[in-house]
Chains A and B, each alone.
Chain A
Amino acid sequence: MSLMEFVFRRLAAMIPVVIGVTLCMFLISHAIAGDPAIMIAGPRASAETLETIRRTHGLDQPLYKQYFRYLSDISRGYLGESIRNRRPVLQDLKVFFPATLELTLASMLFCLLLGLPLGVLAAVRRNRLADHLTRLFSVIGVSTPVFWLGLMLLLLFYRHLDILPGSGRISVQFAAPSAVTGLYLVDALLDGDLGLFRDAARHILLPAFCLSYVYLAIITRIVRSSLIDSLEQDYIVTARANGLPEWRVVGLHAFKNSLIPTITIVGLSFGELLGGAILTETIFNWPGMGKYVVDSANYLDYPAIMAVALVSSLAYVLLNLLVDVFYALVNPQIRY
């Protein structure tokens, strides 16, 4: 089977999963929402007003009809209209998705910038103090609730040290950069506005670190163990015996080999990060999809909730697929 065929088969297999996802989300969100007419009508609505709203919004239709209407809507790329503020959900997602993406990418960067060297350090100093310390660091990482870590970071860096901002993407005195990619850091650079770039970078630092810590811990461990594995391989031993300097042995040969499992984990974590963003965005007031979905839940705004669930699970499934494809590419022994 060729790679293309593999990709197509996986894509085809996704279809029932995605339909399952929409059905799940539809049922769940209708269970949550109770009667959306009450939300639309506002706090002092009369029974008569509610009746009218139910009729005009098709809420008096049987559930299966509403579901089919929903399916046909999303197949046309229409995600519905927010109950809370009557904005098309897609229009809001266009703003919130890049914000979450930016946060997620930044925390991935953290994972790699800190996780790779820490993992290498732990592997090279195996069973010595540095190794034990990174191990402790990692165990605490996977064991710390994101929301609590966020609070502690705020307490330290915003409240006490007062060196980093604690909420939002940019300070109020800045206007948002022109929306090219929606990622403020990138757009600021494209605009050539270094002040804005710096401001945006300062804002993203805490939430990105907070979000990355769990995966940082995982990546550190993976790098360590795969590096240890490859350091024991014959060709490394040979390279050493040939008198290659140690940093070249570790840095170039062994390290390169340990990248494959690392990237796999990075890809998989990426999907999970989108989920973890819910808590981080809430704590740091980061206007992304996570905060959007929590706010929407407070208003029982089910079209918005369903849209976010759909987008994030699609992203998750696609990322898994990408990881598999990548894996197949770099490791030809894998059977599709």
Chain B
Amino acid sequence: MPWSIRKSGIDGRKAWPVPGSALWLLLRNPSAVAGGGIVLFMALMAVLAPWLAPYDPNALNLAARLQAPSLAHWFGTDEMGRDLLSRVVFGARVSLVIGLVVIILAGGLGTLAGASAGYLGGRFDNVVMRVMDVILSFPSLVLAMALAAALGPSLKNAILAVAFTQVPKFARLARGEALNIRERLFIKAARVSGFSAPWIITRHVIPNCLATIMVLATLTVGETILVAASLSFIGLGAQPPTPEWGAIISVGRKFLLDQWWYPTFPGLFIVLTVVGYNILGDALRDVFDPRLRGGRL
């Protein structure tokens, strides 16, 4: 099934959207359009942040501390007189980077490990999957917290920690796929022709898992953003003055009672972004890969 998609859709050179192609299917799916729209909107906001934000997100203005939302400051100002709208807009950048980097790291490492384990089998498979079991035997937030704390609080380390917790998911999926692919004729043929295992894994096994992995990746972005924001919220992620949404809420919490707007708006943006990725991921899954459906939402 992924094979046929590659042929007709993602890899296809025909003008889009051809009826029956993946993109065509997606564009006819209202949730895919809605989710994709939100994701696109956030991505644009991230890219265009310097032009969209009315103020420098880090410029202090002590005379205008903790102001309520107004025409000059739509989302109000924070305890250093910084414009919260500008900080929220720039926050989209941070969460986009977090999402992408974690997916690339975790997806890359997990797929490589899982595909190799599945293809090679034997002891290597056993060891890799045992390690994955250990990682999975921690609730993911607990592990991410512990790692981030051990590495020292910074955005970079938080990203590494979150990526680490997401690796097993990809590894398990890739391994499952690899186990299937291993028995396929063209792989057997390649093996008989004397191609090395690394070559087969990178040229055949992984490309064939890719469609499934992509769907999982989209579904994971949302969770990633949430966990990273949680880390920042407890002070283990982005450090000041980085305008990370979770970090803004963390400081804003102190001002919740009288300055309700402070933690409220960044939170709404987290919800919106994650909703976007989740809807898009669900739609992708429905279109591409109904096999994933048995799993979690």
Residues of A bordering B, CB below 8 Å = 16-18, 20-21, 24-25, 28-29, 31-32, 138-140, 142-148, 151-152, 154-155, 159, 217-218, 221-222, 225, 265, 271-272, 274-276, 278-279, 282, 293-294, 297, 305, 309, 312-313, 316-317
Contact = CB atoms under 8 A, between A and B. Distances in A.
Q: Counting chain B CB atoms within 10 Å of each CB, which of A18, A24, A148, A221 scores highest?
A: A148
A243 to B, nearest CB: 34
Contacts of A282: 234
A151 B150 contact: no
Contacts of A222: 297
Given A32-B150, A279-B230, A272 B139 contact: yes
A309 B142 contact: yes
B134 A20 contact: yes
Nearest to B142: A275
Contacts of A138: 297
A274 B222 contact: no
Q: Which 4 A-B pairs have the closest CB atoms?
A: A275-B139, A148-B267, A143-B274, A20-B134
B234 A28 contact: no
B243 to A, nearest CB: 16
Interface in B106-150: 130-131, 133-134, 137-142, 145-147, 149-150
Contacts of A25: 146
Given A20-B137, A31-B151, A139-B275, 8 more contacts: A20-B134, A28-B150, A142-B278, A151-B256, A155-B257, A294-B234, A309-B142, A313-B139
A161 B103 CA distance: 42
B146 A305 contact: yes
A148 B274 CA distance: 13
B36 interface: no
Contacts of A148: 249, 263, 267, 270-271
Contact of A145 (B145, B229, B297): B229
Nearest to A265: B296
A279 B234 contact: yes
B133 A17 contact: yes
Given A218-B296, A221-B297, A274-B139, A28 B147 contact: yes
A286 B130 CA distance: 35
B214 to A, nearest CB: 20
A31 B134 CA distance: 19
B65 interface: no
A50 to B, nearest CB: 22
Contact of A278 (B142, B150, B226): B142
A293 to B, nearest CB: 8
Could you tell me the dominant secondary structure of chain B's interface residues?
helix
A21 B146 contact: no
Give chain A's interface secondary structure class: helix
A275 B136 CA distance: 12
Contacts of B256: 151, 154-155, 159
Nearest to A217: B297
Contacts of A275: 138-142
A122 B183 CA distance: 41
Contact of B297 (A146, A218, A272): A218
A142 B233 CA distance: 18
B126 to A, nearest CB: 10
B130 A145 contact: no
B58 interface: no
Contact of A143 (B137, B150, B275, B296): B275
Nearest to B135: A24
A131 B66 CA distance: 41
B76 interface: no
A31 B150 contact: yes
B279 interface: yes
A170 B150 CA distance: 35
B228 to A, nearest CB: 10
11 contacts: A17-B130, A31-B150, A143-B271, A145-B267, A147-B246, A148-B249, A152-B264, A221-B297, A276-B141, A278-B142, A294-B234
B3 interface: no
Contacts of A144: 270-271, 274
A20 B141 CA distance: 18
B204 interface: no
A274 B149 CA distance: 19
B139 A32 contact: no
Contacts of B264: 152
B253 interface: yes
A16 B138 contact: no
Contacts of A152: 264, 267
A151 B257 contact: no
A21 B138 CA distance: 8
A21 B246 contact: no
B278 to A, nearest CB: 6
B281 to A, nearest CB: 10
A143 B274 CA distance: 5
A311 to B, nearest CB: 11
Contacts of B253: 151
B138 A146 contact: no
A195 B149 CA distance: 42
Contacts of A154: 256
B279 A317 contact: no
Given A31-B150, A142-B297, A16 B267 contact: no
B134 A17 contact: yes
Nearest to B140: A275
A151 B297 contact: no
B260 interface: yes
Nearest to B250: A147
A309 B226 CA distance: 21
